[in-house]
Amino acid sequence: MRVLVVEDATALAEVVAEGLRDQGMAVDVALDGLSAAAKLDLTPYEVVVLDRDLPGLHGDTLCQMITAREDRAMVLMLTASGSADDRVRGLTLGADDYLAKPFHFPELVLRVRALARRRPSARPRVLRAGGVELDPVTRVATRGGVPLPLSVKEFAVLEALLRAAPGYLSSEALLEQVWDENADPFTNTVTVTVGRLRRKLGDPSVLATLPGVGYRIG
């Protein structure tokens, strides 16, 4: 899952981003509205965690820009303006959810995942292919009913492949969806992670590699 955190308080932005990354999400950060708009033009995000009071371009304006897109990201407004009127205003602007500061981090994670599932193009909650099942909410993956002991990145790669099934995902697409904008495009981290995942999935192999195309589950 690719998430954009838009928050002008640097420390809070990094805390939120690192916490979401620990949950297996690929997270980018923008500290003002203009840089967020630029990132949104370059990268397809599933969820945007958006502060309202932003420098450069106000969060309300950015929210309207996001929701006007055809294949838009879901918007979670995360702001200190927590009154009923503020929530109504935020939802009127097109935000899909609204969470006031201070917040309980596990609730933020659940809301982000719930928004991703609500996207029109989202797949069912439990993903299945080739005898493999994965529930992104409970963070449980199994093959043939047997739990798989996956690392955070292995889980995220498997989730991305299951969402793409029966199609292929290239190394570049996996790097974009599972890591973030700071990932080295020339790294072999995708190959290494896929190799570990293949071993943990066991035999017979359900993770196929097509040279020059990418990887698929099925």
Summarised one tens digit per residue, pLDDT across range 58-102 is 998 999 899 888 788 999 998 776 566 666 665 677 889 988 888
Domain endpoint, select from 95, 118, 141: 118
More confident: 6 or 184: 6
Among 137, 131, 178, smallest CA distance to 156 is for: 178
Q: Which domain holds residue 114?
A: 2-118
Contact status, residue 111 vs residue 76, Cβ threshold 8 Å: yes
| Sheet order of strands, 132-135 included | 127-129, 132-135, 140-143, 146-147
> What does the pLDDT look like over 136-173, one tens digit per residue?
878 899 999 999 999 999 999 999 999 889 899 999 88
Q: Which residue has the tokens 């697409």?
A: 173
Q: In this predicted structure, what is the pLDDT of residue 68?
A: 81
Contact status, residue 141 vs residue 153, Cβ threshold 8 Å: no
- Binning pLDDT at 50, 70 and 90, where does residue 108 land? very high
Name every residue whose Cβ is closer than 8 Å to that of residue 38 and which is 6 or more positions away in sequence. none
CATH of the domain at 69: 3.40.50.2300
Query: In terms of domains, do 61 and 136 share one?
Result: no
Contact status, residue 73 vs residue 4, Cβ threshold 8 Å: yes
Domain endpoint, select from 118, 146, 178: 118
Evaluate if pTM is beyond 0.75.
no
CA-CA distance, 187 to 124, in Å (whole number)? 32
Query: In terms of domains, do 6 and 112 share one?
Result: yes
Query: In terms of domains, do 24 and 87 share one?
Result: yes
Mean pLDDT across the stretch 181-191?
80
CATH of the domain at 157: 1.10.10.10
CA dihedral over 62, 63, 68, 69, signed as positive or negative: positive
Query: In terms of domains, do 172 and 106 share one?
Result: no
Domain endpoint, select from 90, 118, 146: 118
CA-CA distance, 81 to 107, in Å (whole number)? 18
- Binning pLDDT at 50, 70 and 90, where does residue 17 land? very high
Query: In terms of domains, do 75 and 153 share one?
Result: no
Count of structural domains within the chain? 2
